[in-house]
Amino acid sequence: MAENDNSEVQINFNSIKKNWYVYVLLAILLFAFVLRVYHVDYPVVGYHNWKETHYLTEARNFAEDGFFAHGFFIPAVDFPHLIGEYSNSFGAHTDPFPISSILISILFMLFGASLFLARFMMISLSLGTVILLALIVKKLFKRNDLSLIVAFVAAINPLFIFFGRQVQDINPAMFLGLLSIFTYLKWRENKKTKLLVLVAIFMAFSIMVKYSFALFAVPIFFTFPFKKIKKYFKQVVLALISFLIPLFSWIFYSRIKSEELDTKLAASYYDLSKVFDLEFWNIMKSYAADNYTLIGVLFALIGFSLFFYLYKKKFSYNFILWYLLGAIPWFFVMADKMSGHNYHQYPIAPLVIFFISFSFLVIATNIAKFLKKRNIKWIGVLILMIVLFIPSLESKDRMFDVQFVGLDLAGDYINAHSLEEERIFFPGHQSYGVLWHADRMGFAEIPNEENIKFGEEERNVTWIFLYQWGLNTLNEPQWGYISNNYGLEQFAFQLNADKSPKLVYLLLKKGGSFNMDDLNLFLQDNDKVQTKYYESTKGNIPLMYYSVN
């Protein structure tokens, strides 16, 4: 090699400069991945573990039984009702199209059931959401800076971090809805028929998976060039068919299967007056702190004001405006559900993220203009990002640190000491995670004595898991029957400030009897008391437990 020929060892900075947008976006995605991969294979004991258990057990049942065991993609959970609705013995039920369970079950079929695989699938969809938001904003406003700011704000958004790694149908619904919007923007550039058909298909499946994402269809519909409908009539007809066939086929099929399975379709309740309830807004404030941080909400309000102050009669502004206008009736319709769980805000999260990002860009740009130093814009953006990032970390940590410890311990014990056909009574709420680890079906209630006997005789219930709130059963009439017919298998406790034990759960099995006084005798056997430590962002959480066998 000639002395002056350094081509093989020189870095081509021209290439980096030319593709800087791609490299920055990749760096943001890597950062987003690091934030989401936390606890990727952690036991199912976290915030909303009942929701994860829903989709995880559906996926495992698809993998074990096939996609057509109960009908065409009809899912089965591991927690049917004991009597009445969903009371069939195999947990099959009609549901929105179970795309999360289908995708994860394919991975389970190929590699075996794994929390890592299931959550990695969700993380991949969440990263896809970050990419799509960036590309949508870039196409709308033709600005790389705003696009990258949106990507970063989406990457650090606490709602997207926590639920972006949790197994839920909101992740594929979001991805498909945004993919529909992105494809629509591409269609507006070249008007190819296949693109408009794809817009319709992606939107149909997004709504089939989670109907609340119909909000994404509003800006598409109201910005569609209907004045040229004659020119695109054939495309519109094909798109309409592509939208209606899958959507209504699934709706009608679900109703038919609902009758065959002797279950009811999940009812949707709309309490429009909820918005005028002070308690509703107190809940929204709490959820806003978790989802966006309160300072993030403040920046969103600033961005909202600046958006209208700088409003231009352009397609980009018009598209965001219709998204916003569609969110108003959506908010009323979804108020009741939003008051129950913070993840129901997923469909409006991109709008909040956009307004936060818009405020960052306008503030930083005008500070740079005022100081007459153009390059200071990015310094301003970076400072604003840090201001948002710090409380975002605290917010996502709050959600990650909500843990219902011991569900995996009890579940693993049941799995190791029971037959596959044995069933469990457990107290519902946030104790569903025990079913994933037990790989056994259960009933989310501790019923009265009559129904306990029914469960034993007709559903092969042999285990009773009394977790935290379920320990109230000790003061209920059915406790007499339980204590005389169930023996203790395992219990867990934590230490109070004064080192006294605080009972976390009791795990009982049919056969024998149990007296609460027996716990003191077991606790004296220090050699059999074990400790498991659960990870939190503030340190380890110890849980002591005692296994009889």
Integer Cα distance of 435 and 61 in angstroms: 13
For residue 293, the model assigns a pLDDT of 95
Is there a domain that residue 465 lies in? yes
For residue 517, the model assigns a pLDDT of 86
* pLDDT tens per residue, range 404-449: 999 999 999 999 999 999 999 999 999 999 999 999 999 999 999 9
Is there a domain that residue 513 lies in? yes
Structure tokens at 424: 């469990």
For the chain, the residue count is 549
Q: What is the share, in percent, of the chain residues with pLDDT greater than 70?
A: 95
Q: What is the mean pLDDT of residues 522-528?
A: 79
Range of the domain at 537: 407-547
Pair 547, 413: CB distance under 8 Å: yes
Q: What is the mean pLDDT of residues 152-162?
A: 97
- pLDDT surpassing 80 at residue 12: no
Q: What is the mean pLDDT of residues 262-287?
A: 76
Pair 418, 440: CB distance under 8 Å: yes
Is there a domain that residue 445 lies in? yes
Q: What is the mean pLDDT of residues 487-501?
A: 93
Q: What is the mean pLDDT of the chain?
A: 92
Helix axes 294-309, 376-400, angle to 10 degrees: 140
For the stretch 114-117, contacts whose Cβ atoms lie closer than 8 Å and that sit 24 or more positions apart, written own/partner, are 114/41, 115/40, 115/41, 115/42, 115/43, 115/44, 115/56, 116/40, 116/41
Is there a domain that residue 342 lies in? no
For residue 1, the model assigns a pLDDT of 46
Pair 183, 199: CB distance under 8 Å: yes
- Residue closest to 160 by CA, chosen among 385, 395, 333: 395
SS3 string, 287-311, reads HHHHHCCHHHHHHHHHHHHHHHHCC
- pLDDT surpassing 90 at residue 526: no
Pair 117, 108: CB distance under 8 Å: yes
- pLDDT surpassing 60 at residue 266: no
Highest mean pLDDT among 81-85, 261-265, 322-326: 322-326
* pLDDT tens per residue, range 300-346: 999 999 999 999 999 999 999 999 999 999 999 999 888 888 999 99
- Alpha helix segments (H runs only) across 433-492: 433-438, 449-458, 479-485
> Which whole-number Å values give the CA distances from 102 to 75, 162, 214, 440, in the listed order?
9, 22, 22, 20
Is there a domain that residue 535 lies in? yes
If phi > 0 it is left, if psi is from -120 to 50 it is alpha, else beta; for residue 488 that is: beta
**Model-level pTM?**
0.93
- Residue closest to 308 by CA, chosen among 359, 363, 365: 359
Is there a domain that residue 431 lies in? yes
Give the number of domains in the chain. 1
For residue 13, the model assigns a pLDDT of 66
Tell me how crowded residue 336 is: count the other CB atoms within 10 A of its CB.
18
Integer Cα distance of 63 and 44 in angstroms: 19
Integer Cα distance of 348 and 156 in angstroms: 16
Tell me how crowded residue 540 is: count the other CB atoms within 10 A of its CB.
11
For residue 94, the model assigns a pLDDT of 82
Integer Cα distance of 521 and 308 in angstroms: 70
Structure tokens at 305: 């004001």
- Residue closest to 303 by CA, chosen among 350, 254, 335, 369: 350
Is there a domain that residue 178 lies in? no
Integer Cα distance of 226 and 220 in angstroms: 11
First to last CA, the chain: 74
Is there a domain that residue 499 lies in? yes
Pair 482, 505: CB distance under 8 Å: no
- Residue closest to 157 by CA, chosen among 342, 418, 376: 342
Integer Cα distance of 549 and 547 in angstroms: 6
For residue 136, what is the enclosing H or E element? Answer: helix 115-141
* pLDDT tens per residue, range 297-313: 999 999 999 999 999 99
Cα angle 44-47-51, degrees, rounded to a multiple of 5: 65
Pair 540, 528: CB distance under 8 Å: no
Exposed / middle / buried, residue 65 (Cβ in 10 Å: 0-12, 13-18, 19+):
middle
Integer Cα distance of 133 and 175 in angstroms: 10
Q: Which residues contact 134 (CB under 8 A, 6 or more apart)?
A: 25, 28, 147, 148, 150, 151, 154
Pair 258, 320: CB distance under 8 Å: no
